[in-house]
């Protein structure tokens, strides 16, 4: 199958587009067993309650409807990274059993109302947004106390960081400057007065920039005057900034050449009380005052280096361990550090100090002010942490029970108190009956996509304006289990000019490849077996996604055959026959599960009418046609910066077909009924709510369907998101297994 180019012709205007969306979390979850002692014993014929248990195997055949790539390795081939299809120990192409297991488990968690709280990595994200004009940038400027006219962050202080091998400490620097304990040094001043006299300085611009110093100074003077008059937006200001950036761009080394640095120096400074400033810089023995000279990564328009004086006589203070953990996680997330604690090339500037090492550091300590904590980083405009972690965005009653969910009962678990239960299901590899590499779709792929830090995509948004969007502060809701739209075609992204670390080639197998596999199960109740079968099969017309490059249409598979074989105990123990399996009716067990949950948990409500299950079946039964692909692709960076929220799965079709009186791009398309999927009408019972405007307030008085559990009733009003740190769902990347390459954000416009 020959890949087609991604369509970027239409401009994003009223809503975001993406090749993925989110299945909502259940607001309430169901525990199949109240305590661990109620779980069935392995290899047992009867449950603790005396009910019959089933043992046997499920045979299935999957057909790849688009080229498929399940990689077991990435190799260097002529300087290019190449992902090859997995082969089993017999040398045959196969889909690993663990891959099938992950897919089925994810479906079972949704269909089984299972808690995913333990699967979610409770990260506290760090962020920086200096130049933006949105809710996050406003928060950032408040935390740093940014004074735009003076070009300083009033809440930021400097210090020297060290470690005793276990914990990290900061000693505040000497307060030599008037309003802070560090100095800003302009690059042009540094070029003119220091030049190459001090070894280790990494300039951001070529020496020829000095020839345009006067023109730059005149432009900056005009900009400062406009800002002094509180003019922050005008054609004149835009023109001045354009002229300034054009000069800097002409002489910039750029981020590929410039390396962040920090070196020990000595210096002198003026004693002018109005504005103390650096007057001389030399090597660390030349002048009386000692300290560090540094600057971070290259940013367009940046001209600042910084001098941090040596330690003051103040007492050192310790940085809390969770703050250090969040910083390390952010290093990995932003591709500065590999696991475990190995810095990427040219990123040592951001590393924590080693034993006997002293590093200049910047920090904010607001205490209880602004409901913030402590932040640190190695540049004045540091990345700061949100006050809330991911778990604060999980629905309040999701996974708060003390019992054991369907997913844990089927797939096993290890608790924090070291209680464990082995899985009663095992998955064989699904072996290709005839595997042939598809040379036509063996193309280069571009890795990366928005991460969970992208709040406008990953958090539920009740409002649309970028100044009012929810971030990881106050009350927020994470959105859902990430699922990719199925496509009838495969696409090839434009890799020209992309970072080479984000590009790799694939060697997929052809479409129509058949894979045969088995799932073995032991001691399952009828409802448990029904859930397992439903998670494998889903509803009529549904497809699944397997492998890499899902955003581009690869890996769409159809279940061609599903056969259930259950042990007949009379045959097994009453005769000498080794053929003691009976073929059973799959639908009987699926209905057994649905009835069990409907009557025991949902007060008679049908499972297929529950919002998260409707969303799952919709996205798994909708196949995107080639002329619709513009609505199901990654946005260019310029569009992404607009912070436009992503509609929900069930709102998406109406958004595209313009039912809510919105305008998408240049061309409006009529709606359609997706083949094999149910039609959802706003007037229909059990349909989605709050659709009279995008992001109707589902959390505040939104109508929903009442469920009952015991004496408690509640409303399913669209609970939000799931994150699995070990899978391709929720907050993590779809290609997250390829040597750390596969989480990186696409920086190419």
DSSP sequence for 550-577: GGGTTTEEEEEEEEEEEE-HHHHHHSS-
- Decide: 17 and 628 in contact? Cβ < 8 Å: no
Lowest model confidence (mean pLDDT) among 20-34, 224-238, 294-308, 316-330: 224-238
Residues 172 and 307 in one domain: yes
**Residue 131 in domain:** no
Q: Determine the average pLDDT of the residues in 229-257.
A: 85
Band (572; pLDDT cuts 50, 70, 90) = confident
Residues 90 and 57 in one domain: yes
With tokens 């571009």, the residue in question is 446
**Residue 715 in domain:** no
Query: According to the model, what pLDDT value does residue 529 have?
Result: 98
Query: According to the model, what pLDDT value does residue 156 have?
Result: 95
Query: According to the model, what pLDDT value does residue 687 have?
Result: 28
CA–CA dist 689, 717 (Å, integer): 8
Residues 169 and 306 in one domain: yes
Query: According to the model, what pLDDT value does residue 279 have?
Result: 94
Query: pTM of the full predicted structure?
Result: 0.80
C-beta neighbour count of 736 within 10 angstroms: 16
Lowest model confidence (mean pLDDT) among 379-383, 499-503, 739-743: 739-743
**Residue 3 in domain:** no
Q: Determine the average pLDDT of the residues in 65-70.
A: 96
Q: 328 to each of 136, 303, 321, 364, 700, how far by Cα in Å? A: 22, 28, 11, 18, 37
Q: Determine the average pLDDT of the residues in 144-165.
A: 88
Can you tell me whether residue 42 is helix, strand or coil?
Answer: coil
Task: Decide which of 337, 366, 385 is a domain's last residue.
Answer: 385
Residues 178 and 251 in one domain: yes
Lowest model confidence (mean pLDDT) among 6-15, 150-159, 382-391, 694-703: 694-703
Q: Determine the average pLDDT of the residues in 405-410.
A: 96
**Residue 407 in domain:** yes
Q: Determine the average pLDDT of the residues in 384-392.
A: 91
CA–CA dist 96, 515 (Å, integer): 11
Q: Determine the average pLDDT of the residues in 736-742.
A: 36
Residues 181 and 266 in one domain: yes
Residues 500 and 397 in one domain: yes
Q: Determine the average pLDDT of the residues in 296-305.
A: 88
Task: Decide which of 654, 687, 713 is a domain's last residue.
Answer: 654
Domains in the chain: how many in total?
2
Q: Determine the average pLDDT of the residues in 289-295.
A: 97
> Is the predicted pLDDT of residue 30 greater than 90, yes or no?
yes
Nearest alpha carbon to residue 308 among 334, 330, 278: 278
C-beta neighbour count of 583 within 10 angstroms: 11
Residues 489 and 527 in one domain: yes
Query: According to the model, what pLDDT value does residue 159 have?
Result: 97
Lowest model confidence (mean pLDDT) among 238-242, 348-352, 467-471, 691-695: 691-695
Residue 192: DSSP 8-state:
H
> Is the predicted pLDDT of residue 411 greater than 90, yes or no?
yes
**Residue 631 in domain:** yes
Residues 557 and 531 in one domain: yes
Query: According to the model, what pLDDT value does residue 710 have?
Result: 34
**Residue 420 in domain:** yes
**Residue 302 in domain:** yes
Rounded to an integer, what is the distance from CA 351 to the centroid of its chain?
23
Query: According to the model, what pLDDT value does residue 412 have?
Result: 94
Q: Determine the average pLDDT of the residues in 632-661.
A: 78
Query: According to the model, what pLDDT value does residue 372 have?
Result: 61
Residues 399 and 339 in one domain: no
Round the average pLDDT of the chain to a whole number and report it. 83
620-652: buried (b, 16+ CB within 10 Å) or exposed (e) per residue?
bbbbbeeebbbbbbbbeeebbeebbbbbbbbbb
> Is the predicted pLDDT of residue 611 greater than 90, yes or no?
yes
Q: Determine the average pLDDT of the residues in 482-492.
A: 93
> Is the predicted pLDDT of residue 683 greater than 60, yes or no?
no
Residues 396 and 370 in one domain: no
Residues 199 and 74 in one domain: no
- Decide: 593 and 527 in contact? Cβ < 8 Å: yes
**Residue 713 in domain:** no
> Is the predicted pLDDT of residue 173 greater than 90, yes or no?
yes
Range of the domain at 371: 153-385
> Is the predicted pLDDT of residue 72 greater than 50, yes or no?
yes
Task: Decide which of 614, 637, 654 is a domain's last residue.
Answer: 654
CA–CA dist 462, 696 (Å, integer): 6
Query: According to the model, what pLDDT value does residue 745 have?
Result: 34
Structure tokens at 242: 């354009």
Residues 573 and 615 in one domain: yes
Query: According to the model, what pLDDT value does residue 350 have?
Result: 96
């Amino acid at each position: 199958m020959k890949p087609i180019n991604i369509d970027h012709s239409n401009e994003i205007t009223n809503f975001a587009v993406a090749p993925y969306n989110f299945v909502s979390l259940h607001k309430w979850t169901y525990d199949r067993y109240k305590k661990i002692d109620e779980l069935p014993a392995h290899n047992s014929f009867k449950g603790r309650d005396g009910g019959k248990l089933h043992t046997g195997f499920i045979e299935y055949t999957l057909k790849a409807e688009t080229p498929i790539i399940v990689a077991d390795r990435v190799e260097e081939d002529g300087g290019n990274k190449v992902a090859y299809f997995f082969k089993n120990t017999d040398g045959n192409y196969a889909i690993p059993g663990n891959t099938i297991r992950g897919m089925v488990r994810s479906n079972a968690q949704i269909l089984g109302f299972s808690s995913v709280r333990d699967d979610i990595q409770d990260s506290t994200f760090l962020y920086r947004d200096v130049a933006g004009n949105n809710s996050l940038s406003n928060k950032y400027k408040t935390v740093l106390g940014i004074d735009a006219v003076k070009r300083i962050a009033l809440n930021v202080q400097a210090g020297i960081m060290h470690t005793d091998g276990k914990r990290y400490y900061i000693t505040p620097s000497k307060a030599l400057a008037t309003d802070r304990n560090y100095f800003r040094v302009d690059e042009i001043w540094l070029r003119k007065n220091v030049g190459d006299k001090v070894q280790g300085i990494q300039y951001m611009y070529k020496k020829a920039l000095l020839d345009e110093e006067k023109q730059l100074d005149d432009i900056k003077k005009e900009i400062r005057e406009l800002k002094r008059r509180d003019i922050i937006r005008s054609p004149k200001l835009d023109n001045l900034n354009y002229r300034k950036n054009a000069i800097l761009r002409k002489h910039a080394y750029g981020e590929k050449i410039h390396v962040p640095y920090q070196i020990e120096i000595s210096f002198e400074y003026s004693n002018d009380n109005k504005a103390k400033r650096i007057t001389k810089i030399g090597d660390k023995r030349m002048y009386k005052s000692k300290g560090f000279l540094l600057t971070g990564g290259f940013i367009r328009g940046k001209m600042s280096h910084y001098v941090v004086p040596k330690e003051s006589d103040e007492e050192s203070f310790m940085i809390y361990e969770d703050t250090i953990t969040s910083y390390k996680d952010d290093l990995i997330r932003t591709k500065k550090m590999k696991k475990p604690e190995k810095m990427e090339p040219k990123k040592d500037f951001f590393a924590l100090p080693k034993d006997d090492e002293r590093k200049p550091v910047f920090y904010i300590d607001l205490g209880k002010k602004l409901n913030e904590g402590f932040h640190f980083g190695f540049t004045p405009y540091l990345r700061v942490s949100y006050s809330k972690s991911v778990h604060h965005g999980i629905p309040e009653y999701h996974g708060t029970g003390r019992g054991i969910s369907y997913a844990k009962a089927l797939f096993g678990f290890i608790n924090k108190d070291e209680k464990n239960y082995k899985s009663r299901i095992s998955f064989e590899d699904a072996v290709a009956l005839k595997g042939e590499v598809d040379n036509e779709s063996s193309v280069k792929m571009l890795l990366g996509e928005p991460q969970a830090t992208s709040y406008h995509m990953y958090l539920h948004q009740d409002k649309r304006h970028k100044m009012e969007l929810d971030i990881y502060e106050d009350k927020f809701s994470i959105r859902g289990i990430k699922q990719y739209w199925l496509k009838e075609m495969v696409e090839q992204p434009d890799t020209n000019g992309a970072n080479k670390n984000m590009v790799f080639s694939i060697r997929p197998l052809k479409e129509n490849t058949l894979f045969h596999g088995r799932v073995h199960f032991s001691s399952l109740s009828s409802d448990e077996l029904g859930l397992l079968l439903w998670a494998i099969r889903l509803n009529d017309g549904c497809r699944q996604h397997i492998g890499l490059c899902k955003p581009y249409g690869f890996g769409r598979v159809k279940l061609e055959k599903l056969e259930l074989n259950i042990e007949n105990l009379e045959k097994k123990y009453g005769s000498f026959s080794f053929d003691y399996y009976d073929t059973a009716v799959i639908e009987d067990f699926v209905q057994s599960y649905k009835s069990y949950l409907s009557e025991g948990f949902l007060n008679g409500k049908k499972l297929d009418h529950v919002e998260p299950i409707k969303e799952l079946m919709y996205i798994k039964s909708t196949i995107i046609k080639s002329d619709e692909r513009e609505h199901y692709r990654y946005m260019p960076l310029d569009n992404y910066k607009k912070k436009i929220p992503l509609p929900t799965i069930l709102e998406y079709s109406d958004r595209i077909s313009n039912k809510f009186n919105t305008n998408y791009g240049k061309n409006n398309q009529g709606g359609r009924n997706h083949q094999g999927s149910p039609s959802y009408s706003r007037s229909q019972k059990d349909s989605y709510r709050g659709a009279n405007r995008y992001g109707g307030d589902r959390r505040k008085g939104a109508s929903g369907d009442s469920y009952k559990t015991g004496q408690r009733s509640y409303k399913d009003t669209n609970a939000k998101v799931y994150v699995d740190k070990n899978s391709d769902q929720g907050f993590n990347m779809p290609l997250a297994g390829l040597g750390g390459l596969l989480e990186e954000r696409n920086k190419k416009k």
